[in-house]
Structure 1
Amino acid sequence: MNDTPRAIVLLSGGLDSATCLAIARDMGFECYALSVAYGQRHVAELSASRRVAEALGAREHRLARVELGQFGGSALTDASIPVPEGEEVSSGIPVTYVPARNTVMLSIALAWAEVLGANDIFVGVNAVDYSGYPDCRPDYIEAFERMANLATKRGVEGARLRIHAPLIALSKAEIITRGSALGVDYGLTVTCYQADDSGRACGRCEACRLRRAGFASAGIADPTAYQTLP
């Protein structure tokens, strides 16, 4: 019988989630990667998630679908809302925040975890280079974990469900350094808010800016394919 503990890893196909999968694997978990098509502007990151799951040896990779795009309210799901570029700074929470996205994704991961008998869920949220999103904070992760243990059969029957956010206190450079040490091929990942169909990054949005600065700060060559030179 295989006694290796199982974990669900939310895998967007971006830099952070790829690192998170590598960390979960390094911790000795049998990893089940979960990607979510939620109505995002492009599907390049979902293609990237398949590549990353295979490269990092996920036991299984599932794609769940939920149409958050029908509600709009975010530059990532509503084509009528432009993605901020360059040094544009918005007051408060930026327009790239997708309402309830992490809550929806973690809930889907929780459902799959119950079916698999997994007590651990990994998510690559970050509270350092995180654009001010409210669902990337430590308080949110702690609250979701409490809810998970109250709202599930496994939780009320004594299994301790844990939400792991191993990147939450790391800078982008620290994330890249950690992932590189664990063998992550960042050339497989897509982080851009408005990548083209081939997965090439725009080089202008905040996600591209943070990613590029992270590689520079880490002293590691940036393998990102850009549409134009940033």
Structure 2
Amino acid sequence: MTEKVVVIYSGGMDSFTVLNRALKDGKEVYALSFDYGQRHVKELECASEVCKQLNVPHKIIDISAINELLAGSSLTDDIEIPEGHYEEESMKSTVVPNRNMILLSLAVGYAVSVGAAQVYYGAHSGDHAIYPDCRPEFVMKMNDVCQIANYEPVEIFSPYLEVSKTAILTDGIAMGLDYSKTWTCYNGREKACGKCGACQERLEAFADNNATDPLAYED
């Protein structure tokens, strides 16, 4: 019997690769996306279109009401999006308090309801410096909790936890993935800005792979 898994799918390039990795691994995938009040929904639109094309069951859950509790992030509040590389101190303004713990908890609940054994989650080493909830110790502790939180244990599985965005893209290119079906930019304009940390890390990954990013950029 094919093993069921839930994939947390934002519509960005990392989760797009994770989704396809799960499919390549032979899993029966249930994709789960969240509207948590982020600045734009372009990623969610990409996620919806990809799941239709792949015939993958997909839910987009509106949890935007949590922003009454989670203030202070430039991804959800009226705070200017910082420009520059992720390593810079200013990028910490993009942290949404406790976001991934909340999303993982909801995904685990969904996994129990559909009989899935795993939740696939796209954390990677490039996020470790800025985002505490993408670090291996967080993922391991969450996995421990999710083994005992329900009668049915659910594994938190992060296939790219110890590798960079460059390596994620390398795997995606090897799978023949089309990254024009993703959106990474923190801004939701017609073209990607090319200046925010998300864009810069994405462009670096394509450069490291001697590949051309299919997205259109403002600069």
The secondary structure found in structure 1 opposite 2:159 is coil
Structure 1's unaligned 5+ residue stretches are 156-160
Select which of 60, 66, 69 maps to 2:67. Answer: 69
Select which of 157, 161, 171 maps to 1:164. Answer: 157
Percent of residue pairs bearing the same amino acid type:
39
Kept in 1: contact 2:165–2:202 (CA 8 A): yes
- Give the 3 Å change call, closer, same or farther, for CA 88–166 of structure 1 in structure 2: closer
Q: Using the alignment, how far apart are the partners of 1:170 and 1:88 within structure 2?
A: 16
Q: Using the alignment, how far apart are the partners of 2:3 and 2:85 within structure 1?
A: 44
- Superposition pairs of residues 136-175 of structure 1, within 5 angstroms: 136-155=134-153, 161-175=154-168
Q: Using the alignment, how far apart are the partners of 1:85 and 1:55 within structure 2?
A: 33
Q: What is the CA RMSD across the aligned residues, in angstroms?
A: 1.8
Match of 2:203 in 1: 212
Is 1:95 aligned to residue 93 of structure 2? yes
Provide Cα deviations, 1:148-183, integer angstroms capped at 9, x if missing partner.
11111213xxxxx21110111222221111012223
In structure 1, give the amino acid aligned to 2:59: R
Match of 1:188 in 2: 181
Match of 2:192 in 1: 201
Kept in 2: contact 1:21–1:56 (CA 8 A): no
Tell me how far 1:86 sits from its aligned partner: 3.1
Tell me how far 1:195 sits from its aligned partner: 2.3
Q: Using the alignment, how far apart are the partners of 1:56 and 1:191 within structure 2?
A: 20
Provide Cα deviations, 1:23-58, integer angstroms capped at 9, x if missing partner.
111111010000000010111111011122233442
After TM superposition, the score normalised by the length of structure 2 is 0.93
Kept in 2: contact 1:8–1:113 (CA 8 A): yes
Larger CA deviation: 33-42 vs 120-129: 120-129
- Superposition pairs of residues 1-230 of structure 1, within 5 angstroms: 3-58=1-56, 60-67=57-64, 68-70=66-68, 71-79=70-78, 81-86=79-84, 90-91=88-89, 94-155=92-153, 161-196=154-189, 198=190, 200-226=191-217, 228-229=218-219
The structure carrying a bigger helix percent of its residues is 2
Tell me how far 1:214 sits from its aligned partner: 0.5
Q: Using the alignment, how far apart are the partners of 2:139 and 2:99 within structure 1?
A: 13
Q: Using the alignment, how far apart are the partners of 2:28 and 2:85 within structure 1?
A: 41
Q: Using the alignment, how far apart are the partners of 1:169 and 1:15 within structure 2?
A: 17
The secondary structure found in structure 1 opposite 2:162 is coil
Q: Using the alignment, how far apart are the partners of 1:104 and 1:45 within structure 2?
A: 19
